[in-house]
Amino acid sequence: MSETTVQTTRINKTCMTLGGVALVAGIILALVGAMSGGGDPHAFQHGYFFGWTYWACMAFGCFGVSLLHHAARGHWGFPVVRIFEAGGGPITLAVFFAALIPVIFGWREIFYPWADAARVAVDPVLQHRAPYFGGFFAIRYVIYAGVFILLSLLNQNWLRQEERTGDDRWWKKRQYWGGLFLVVYVILTNFMWTDWMMSMYDHWYSTIYGVWIMVGSALLAFAFTGIVLGTQYDKVPYKGVVVPWLTKDIGNWMLTFTMVWAYFSLSQYLIIWSGNLPEFTKYFIDRSLNGWIYVGWSLIVIHFFVPFISLLSPTVKRQPWRLALVGAWILFVRLIDVWFVVTPTWKTSIGINAVDIGMFLFFGGVWMLLFGWRLAQAPLITTMTPRLKEAVDHA
């Protein structure tokens, strides 16, 4: 067994163990929480969607970032592309698409005003949107799932062929199609989040919303990559590959997406605040009452200033373990942000219950198990990629 395979198995075991524990703990907590009730008759469904959203963002983020790498051909991506592929590969995407079926088909009346016939009957805006949310809603779901899984499958196959044969036409193929795939990804992701999250509001909409969630997802993917590099830099096969330029590049990506997230958040808030129109302000009013405003204010500090200032430092980006710490912090603050974006939609009072935590752990467990499993399917570093040598030389 080669050193590469051994190391892959070690990471794989860690992820599988973590994933298994999180999965079991999540199920127990969710069941306890659901049985104790707590005043919310739909606590389970709400917790389910919250947990799913965070980890689906991770999966979609990994997939998107892998496309970004294929399109941009940056050196930074060669040593870590398998992390993205394992985190957002076709099977992972398929599982997360399947896990949404209960929400958008089974519990749609709980989440979506357009699915409530009584509300639609008295609301002209919902009536106007009715054709879009009729049968076409299900067709769109099939399109999103089908296209994402297909693109991911193609990229995965090309990567494996490249690994097997060493023929550079496979990486050229990934790069050749990368730009177009990225365009398709951005457009579909926007409509996906509009369908599944934005449409939980009857009138509110924001044109930046889709890319805003997309940027948060990419940030999650890079933060997780930072953690992997930070914990594996001195072990094979990363030893000698995780060098300062690589951690610096990944750190710079984290910094970039932190800034873009803040820029989009501020733009969205400022424009809606200034316009002060009732159909738009509803979103922020929900997030400013009953203590939610403190979460919003704290996000400015914990989600922007803390990672921003940390990642400005070259020392942090050069030392893998420090980068891993910042990555872990970003995973945590993304959780707060997803909670702030998702939960106030249906919950006026601030608070988190056992189901929310349980479902977060459950889906985290599912993602980690899938990640560990998929990571073990091929060498951690795509050794046959011609440009990997360039990337290492570049160090």
Partner 1 sequence: MSLIDMNKHEMITGEWDNRSIDGRIGDIVLDPNRHLEAKLPGLLGKLLPQNMRSPWFVMAGIGFVFVNILLLCVTILVLTGIGVWGNNQPVGWGFDIINFVWWIGIGHAGTLISAILLLLRNQWRNSINRFAEAMTIFAVMCAGMYPLLHTGRPWVAYWLFPYPNVMALWPQFRSPLIWDVFAVSTYFTVSLLFWYVGMIPDFATLRDRATSAIPRHVFGMLALGWTGSAKAWHRYMHASIMLAGLSAPLVLSVHSIVSFDFAMAIVPGWNTTIFPPYFVAGAVFAGFAMVIMFSIPIRKWYRLEDFITMKHFDWMAKVMLATGLIVAYGYMMETFYGWYSGQSAEMALLYNRGNLANTPYSWAFYSLILFNVVIPNFLWIPKVRQNLTALFWISLSVNIGMWFERYVIIPISLSRDYLPSSFGYYTPTIVDFGMFFGTIGFFVFMMFLFIRFLPMINMFEIKELWHHMSHHKEHGHDVVATGEAH
Residues 43-82 that bind partner 1 (CB under 8 A): 73, 75
Q: Which is nearer to partner 1, 270 or 301 (CB)?
A: 270
Residues 100-129 that bind partner 1 (CB under 8 A): 124-126, 128-129
Quote the least distance from Cβ 182 to partner 1, whole Å.
9
Task: For residue 190, state whether it binds partner 1 (rule: CB under 8 A).
Answer: yes
Separation of CA 370 from chain center: 15
Q: Which is nearer to partner 1, 99 or 125 (CB)?
A: 125
Quote the least distance from Cβ 173 to partner 1, whole Å.
10
Q: Which is nearer to partner 1, 107 or 191 (CB)?
A: 191
Q: Is 49 exposed, middle or buried (0-12, 13-18, 19+ CB in 10 A)?
A: buried
Contact between 299 and 333 (Cβ < 8 Å): yes
Q: Look up residue 383 and give its two tokens.
A: 């050794």
**Looking at this protein, which amino acid is placed at residue 390?**
E
Number of residues lying near partner 1 (CB under 8 A): 41
Separation of CA 373 from chain center: 19
Region from 56-64, 94-102, 270-278, 337-345 binding partner 1, contact rule CB under 8 A: 270-278
Q: Look up residue 105 and give its two tokens.
A: 């088909």
Contact between 303 and 336 (Cβ < 8 Å): yes
Quote the least distance from Cβ 267 to partner 1, whole Å.
4
Contact string 3-42 vs partner 1 (x = CB under 8 A): ----------------------------------------
Q: Which is nearer to partner 1, 45 or 206 (CB)?
A: 206
Separation of CA 346 from chain center: 22
Residue from 140, 174, 374, 387 binding partner 1 (CB under 8 A): 387
Contact string 191-220 vs partner 1 (x = CB under 8 A): ---x--------x-xxxxxxx---------
User: What distance in Å separates the CA atoms of residue 325 and residue 307, rounded to the nearest whole number?
Assistant: 10
User: What distance in Å separates the CA atoms of residue 181 and residue 252, rounded to the nearest whole number?
Assistant: 24
Residues 275-314 that bind partner 1 (CB under 8 A): 275-277, 279-280
Q: Look up residue 369 and give its two tokens.
A: 């198990």
Residue from 14, 25, 108, 176 binding partner 1 (CB under 8 A): 176
Quote the least distance from Cβ 155 to partner 1, whole Å.
18
Q: Look up residue 16 and give its two tokens.
A: 């599988």
Q: Which is nearer to partner 1, 210 or 358 (CB)?
A: 210
Using only the alpha carbons of the chain, give its radius of gyration: 21
Separation of CA 3 from chain center: 31
Contact between 49 and 111 (Cβ < 8 Å): yes
**Which region, left, alpha or beta, applies to residue 353 given φ > 0 means left and ψ of -120 to 50 means alpha?**
beta
Residue from 35, 270, 285, 301 binding partner 1 (CB under 8 A): 270
User: What distance in Å separates the CA atoms of residue 187 and residue 195, rounded to the nearest whole number?
Assistant: 13
Task: For residue 183, state whether it binds partner 1 (rule: CB under 8 A).
Answer: yes
Q: Which is nearer to partner 1, 39 or 393 (CB)?
A: 393
**Using alpha carbons only, what angle is made at residue 351 by residues 350 and 355, rounded to the nearest 5 degrees?**
140
**Looking at this protein, which amino acid is placed at residue 374?**
R
Quote the least distance from Cβ 389 to partner 1, whole Å.
11
Task: For residue 264, state whether it binds partner 1 (rule: CB under 8 A).
Answer: yes
Residues making contact with partner 1 (CB under 8 A): 73, 75, 124-126, 128-129, 132, 172, 176, 179-180, 183, 186-187, 190, 194, 203, 205-211, 263-264, 267-268, 270-272, 274-277, 279-280, 387, 390, 394
